[in-house]
Amino acid sequence: MTAITPEKRLETSGLILPPPPRPKGHYAPYANAAAGAFVQVSISGQTCRIDGVAMQGICQESDDLERPRLAAQVAMLNALAALRVACDGQLNRVQTITRLRGFIRSHSSFGAHTAVLNAASDVLAKAWPDLPLPARTAVGVSSLPDGALIELELEVLISAVHSA
């Protein structure tokens, strides 16, 4: 009997991981560091790009949150695509997600950062329903690369041993 993978859980929810994002600068999409029986993985900031094009915008106090929440979901799927590469294609190696940092491009009067970032947390809960949610930071910023609405970073512990 085959275990249900995080990708299959996402697919069942109508969410498909895109191809891994390509860096738009001089940095690595992820970094791995040995941590005993685990490997700590840091995923570089991933924006809400679809086919390389950023979902642009700025959150304002009076805005409907549907589009920013979709942007958070897209950014999370991009982050998980990078994580899958860091896991050698095996997201089932994820043991825990320790931190989610979310940067939301917003006007100074906007205060619903948490409601927007909940969409990214929801993706994690669908992929790994038995894992606790990570520590999280939601911050409003005045600009992001290419005018993107959202940028996310992840910190994850994965098993050092590959599955068969």
**Domain containing 79 — which CATH number?**
3.30.1330.40
Residue 4 lies in a domain: no
DSSP state at residue 58: -
pLDDT of residue 161: 76
Q: What is the pLDDT of residue 8?
A: 96
For residue 36, what pLDDT is reported? 87
On whether residue 22 sits in a domain, the answer given is no
In a domain, residue 151? The reply is yes
Domain range for 87 is: 28-159
Q: What is the pLDDT along the chain (164 residues), one digit of tens a residue?
A: 467 999 999 999 999 999 998 888 899 999 999 988 899 999 999 999 999 999 999 999 877 899 999 999 999 999 999 999 999 999 999 999 999 999 999 999 999 999 999 999 999 999 999 999 999 999 999 999 999 999 999 999 999 976 65
The C-alpha atoms of residue 118 and residue 73 are separated, in whole angstroms, by: 9
Domain presence at residue 72: yes
Q: Domain for residue 1, yes or no? A: no
- Give all strands of the β-sheet with 135-141 in edge-to-edge order: 30-35, 38-47, 150-159, 94-105, 135-141
Per-residue confidence (pLDDT) for residue 2, from 0 to 100: 62
Q: How many structural domains compose the chain? A: 1
Is residue 21 situated within a structural domain? Answer: no
Q: What are phi and psi of 30, to 5 degrees?
A: -160, 160
The answer to the question of residue 36 being in a domain is: yes
Per the domain annotation, does 155 fall within a domain?
A: yes
